[in-house]
Amino acid sequence: MVWGVLACQLLLSACSLTKYVPKEKYLLDELHIVTDNKEVKPSSLNLYVRQTPNAKWFSLVKTQLYIYNLSGRDSTKWVNRALRRLGDEPVIYDELEDERTRQEIKKAVQNMGYMGAEVESERKVSKRKIKLTYYIKTGRPYRINSLKYDIRDNQIAERLRDDSLSLLHDEMLFDINLLDAERQRIVSLLRDKGYYKFNKDYISYTADTVRGSYKADLTLHVAKYRARQQDSLINHPIYTIGTVNFITDYDVLQSSALSSIEVNDSLIYRRYPIYYKNRLYLRPKVLVNNLSLETGTPYSEANLQRTYSNFNRLGALKYTNIRFFEVQQRDSMKLNTYVLLTPAKPQSVAFEIEGTNSAGDLGAAASVTFQHRNLFKGSETFMIKLRGAFEAVSGLHSNQRNQDYEELGVESSINFPRFMFPFLSSDFKRRIRATSELSLQYNYQMRPEFTRIVASAGWGYKWGTQSQRTQHRVDVIDINYLYMPWIDSDFEEQYLNQDQSYILKYNYDDRLIVKMGYSFVYNSSGRSMLHNALVGNSYAFRLNVESAGNLLYGLARTLGMHKTVEGEYTLLNIPFAQYVKADMDFTKNLQIDHRNTLVFHVGGGVAVPYGNASMLPFEKRYFSGGANSVRGWSVRELGPGSYTSQSTNFLNQTGDIKFDANIEYRTRLFWKFGGAAFIDVGNIWTLRNYEEQPGGQFKFDQFYKQIAVGYGVGLRMDLDFFIIRLDWGFKAVNPIHTGNHRYPLLHPRLKESALHFAVGYPF
Which residue segments constitute the domains of the chain, with CATH numbers given? 2-137 (3.10.20.310), 143-222 (3.10.20.310), 239-343 (3.10.20.310), 621-763 (2.40.160.50)
- Quick one: average pLDDT of 335-343? 95
The whole-angstrom separation of Cα 563 and Cα 286 is: 50
Average pLDDT value over all residues in the chain: 87
The predicted model scores a pTM of 0.83
Task: Give the strands of the sheet with 203-209, arranged side by side.
Answer: 143-151, 215-222, 203-209
Instruction: Please report which confidence band the pLDDT of residue 668 belongs to, taking 50, 70 and 90 as the band edges.
Output: confident
Q: Report the pLDDT value the prediction gives residue 693, as an integer from 0 to 100.
A: 85
The whole-angstrom separation of Cα 567 and Cα 554 is: 15
- Which pairing describes strands 129-137 and 203-209: parallel, antiparallel, or unpaired? unpaired
Judged by average pLDDT, the poorest of 216-230, 304-318, 399-413 is: 399-413
- Quick one: average pLDDT of 286-302? 93
Strand partners, 73: none
Judged by average pLDDT, the poorest of 58-62, 439-443, 579-583 is: 58-62
The proportion of the chain whose per-residue pLDDT surpasses 90, expressed as a percent, equals: 53
Q: Which tens digits make up the pLDDT trace of 605-616?
A: 999 999 998 888
pLDDT above 60 (res 357): no
Q: Report the pLDDT value the prediction gives residue 7, as an integer from 0 to 100.
A: 45
Q: Please say whether the beta carbons of 635 and 568 come within 8 A.
A: no
- Quick one: average pLDDT of 128-146? 93
- Quick one: average pLDDT of 286-303? 94
Q: Report the pLDDT value the prediction gives residue 6, as an integer from 0 to 100.
A: 38
- Which pairing describes strands 570-571 and 470-487: parallel, antiparallel, or unpaired? unpaired
The whole-angstrom separation of Cα 547 and Cα 564 is: 23
- Quick one: average pLDDT of 79-102? 90
Q: Report the pLDDT value the prediction gives residue 251, as an integer from 0 to 100.
A: 87
pLDDT above 90 (res 520): yes
Q: Which tens digits make up the pLDDT trace of 639-664?
A: 899 888 765 556 678 899 999 999 99
pLDDT above 90 (res 74): no
Q: Which tens digits make up the pLDDT trace of 483-517?
A: 988 887 777 777 666 655 566 677 778 889 999 99
434 three-state secondary structure: coil
The whole-angstrom separation of Cα 131 and Cα 124 is: 5
Task: Give the strands of the sheet with 27-35, arranged side by side.
Answer: 27-35, 129-137, 118-126
Q: Report the pLDDT value the prediction gives residue 651, as an integer from 0 to 100.
A: 65
Q: Report the pLDDT value the prediction gives residue 498, as an integer from 0 to 100.
A: 63
Burial (0-12, 13-18, 19+ Cβ within 10 Å), 175: buried
pLDDT above 90 (res 12): no
The whole-angstrom separation of Cα 718 and Cα 761 is: 11
